[in-house]
Amino acid sequence: MSTFLAFTVLGIVSGAVYAILATGLVVTYNTTGVFNFAQGAVGAVAAFSYWQLWQAWHWPFLLAILFVVLVEAPVLAVAVEFVFFRRIHGASVERSLMVSLGLLVILLGVATIFWSNPDVVRSVPPYFTQANGTVLSVHLFGANGVTLQYQEIMIVVIAAVVSVALGLFLRRVRIGVAMRAVVDDPELVAMSGAKPYRMSQTGWAIGFMLAGLAGVLLAPIVGQTGLTADQLTLLALNGFAAAVVGRLRNLPMTFVGAIALGLITQYCVGYLPGHINAGLASVLTEVIPVAFLFVVLLVIPAARLAPAGRLSVRPVPKVVTGRQSVAGAILLVALVAVLAAMVGETALATMSQGLAFGIVGLSLVLLVGYAGQVSLCQLTFMGIGAYTMGKAFGGGSWWGLVLAVVVSGAVGAVVALPALRLRGLYLALATFAFGEVMYSAFFSNSTVIPDGTSINVGRVPLPFMHGVSDRAMLVEVAVAAALCALVVGLVRRSAFGRRLVAMSDSPAAYATVGLNSVRTKVIVFALSAAMAGLGGVFYAGQQGGIGANDVQFIGSLTLLLWVVIWGVRTVSGALLGGMTAAVLPVLQTHLPPSLADLAGLAAGIGIVLLAQSPEGILGMEWLTNRVHLPFGDTADVPRELFVDHEVASAA
């Protein structure tokens, strides 16, 4: 009985922290229309700031908490709203998501710059301790009862008060009602005498304050052995599931969902080991929350998952002619062949990985750019392709490559089936959950990939060669990228490509004219996953293997971010995005410490540009009027090429 009570207490406490994070997400979403993927990163920065003030600079702990929550968090929120989010009201889902994900990259970079010294252990002692270090607690339910620490009681009380108080504020107080109304019609709110941007800033401030509060409360729990930015960020992502339980609107249900998630996680951690695979048992705390999120997304009725804010209208993606595609492919291979004969070994490896990422980026053009289906797990499909290649036919053969593509495509189709009714933000969350489950349960499972090692993956052999050198490998990847670019162009010019664009533009109209969106979604998911798996074969072949670190969520996020910044609906944007994702980490290692956050700096510039140009850098008007890219991404095309005769005849 005492064991059960102990797990119950741990579950309620962890659920209370999730509730605070999720409440901030819900408030921000209801008052701004943006789902803040950076909520966890805000909490991580707050936790580090709290450590800096209390432990390093010896501020009184209460003053440190008040400063972080009531000063630092809202000031940061106002700055973020003004710089990044003010100009994207009513923007497309992937555009607002990318700005939010870019903010996540920036904040993680900030944490890296200021708190990355490995010689300093940033431990945070528990609250409510005696002079001898004993944590104050109270024992309940007799000899077989449970001991509750004061800080655990405090966390639960704070979470409950925050949930109730904010619920009343948003529904009963005039400013709270105005904050919710500004998402749908800022002009109408302005007519009532309120300032819409002030309402939006207030929503961001409340969301950031709650994220900061959660970070401060988490710090003593997870930071007694040392805080890490990734640990805090990923832990905070568990609040996503609780927010979805409340349908991103209902604060009491969000609180209930958070407590349920905490209890389920702790019960599974306490009772499942010994009954399941040992490798899986060791990562249950990571697997359960994202599996819970995936199940919740599938169970909640689709009609209740209504997006906040206005719907946006986007121009039709440009059509690349066959001649332009072939010319661009030839130019790409020729240019890479010349560079392969000139550059050194480090550049060879970086360019090969960049082109492999470019192939994965092309899969995003199909799925995100044309079909409008946001995916945050493309590196998972890349890892599946690489793993299959390493395990089949000796680890390096043409048959292994074919099997890797087929298996990746099949997994993509299977993932698409349960998520068919989801789109936009909720599809992004579902793919995030799938990617995290695969990372924790499969790629991080010591029985699948031994700890600290990787699965060996060979290179695709070439005729009349005993081995594939780095220079030959680069040309080989370039040829594969060129062929994939041709496939993407061919798809866009086909009737299927026109159906993808029509489905992205209006799913309801697509179904009304009698077209099957289920089949279309499954096919595009399978095709996209197969292409990502092909990219994984070349990525792993270049470095000789694939490991868990290669398929982390932050990698999928970063790659999608760069592709969107360059232009997610262009072939050139995919290739440039992939190259950026590979080159920036290498450049970072050669820069002085003052420029250690090159990725964060570049992401900041990129999302500012994205706020100005919805179609990315390659879609900026001054560039399209002056530059014609190799694949014809910015070419002027007659309007009749956009017409889908199959859709027209069905109508």
DSSP 201-230: HHHHHHHHHHHHHHHHHHHHHH-SS---HH
pLDDT of residue 647: 41
Instruction: Give every CB contact of residue 161 below 8 A, 6+ residues apart in sequence.
Output: none
385 close to 532: Cβ distance less than 8 angstroms: yes
Rounded mean pLDDT of 112-130?
Answer: 80
Handedness of CA 261, 264, 268, 269 (dihedral sign): positive
Query: Alpha carbon of 557 to those of 201, 225, 409, 562: distances in Å?
Result: 26, 28, 20, 9
Residue 457: phi, psi to the nearest 5? -130, 125
Question: Which residues pair with residue 137 across a beta bridge?
Answer: 149
pLDDT of residue 639: 37
For the chain, give every domain's residue range.
2-110+130-268, 322-650
- 146: part of which helix (H) or strand (E)? strand 146-149
Lowest mean pLDDT among 212-216, 267-271, 421-425: 421-425
Query: Alpha carbon of 620 to those of 613, 614, 624, 625, 626: distances in Å?
Result: 6, 8, 6, 9, 10
Whether 2-110+130-268 and 322-650 share one fold: the answer is yes
Pairing of strands 545-546, 455-456: antiparallel
pLDDT of residue 644: 41
Q: How confident is the model at residue 186 (pLDDT cuts 50, 70, 90)?
A: low
In the chain, what is the greatest distance between 2 CA atoms, to the nearest angstrom? 81
301 close to 25: Cβ distance less than 8 angstroms: no
Task: Please give the residue that has the higher pLDDT: either 113 or 268.
Answer: 268
pLDDT of residue 453: 73
Residue 507: phi, psi to the nearest 5? -60, -35
**pLDDT higher than 50, residue 635:** no
pLDDT of residue 580: 93
Q: How confident is the model at residue 307 (pLDDT cuts 50, 70, 90)?
A: very low
Q: How confident is the model at residue 111 (pLDDT cuts 50, 70, 90)?
A: confident
pLDDT of residue 189: 64
Q: What is the pLDDT of residues 441-454, one digit of tens each?
A: 899 887 788 765 78
Percent of the chain with pLDDT over 90: 32
Rounded mean pLDDT of 75-102?
Answer: 81
Question: Which residues pair with residue 129 across a beta bridge?
Answer: 135
Q: CA 637 to CA 31: how far, in whole Å?
A: 40
Rounded mean pLDDT of 319-325?
Answer: 81
What architecture (CATH level 2) is domain 322-650? Orthogonal Bundle (1.10)
Q: CA 133 to CA 97: how far, in whole Å?
A: 44
pLDDT of residue 316: 59
**pLDDT higher than 60, residue 641:** no
- 285: part of which helix (H) or strand (E)? helix 284-299
Handedness of CA 250, 76, 554, 264 (dihedral sign): negative
Q: What is the pLDDT of residues 358-409, one digit of tens each?
A: 999 999 999 998 988 889 999 999 999 999 999 988 788 899 999 999 999 9
* 2-110+130-268 has CATH 1.10.3470 classification: yes
The owner of tokens 């997870």 is 222
Q: What is the pTM of this model?
A: 0.88
Q: What is the pLDDT of residues 579-616, one digit of tens each?
A: 999 998 888 777 665 555 666 677 777 877 777 777 88
pLDDT of residue 330: 93
Q: Which two tokens stand for residue 194?
A: 């309120």
Q: Which two tokens stand for residue 492?
A: 């866009």
The owner of tokens 């530059």 is 627
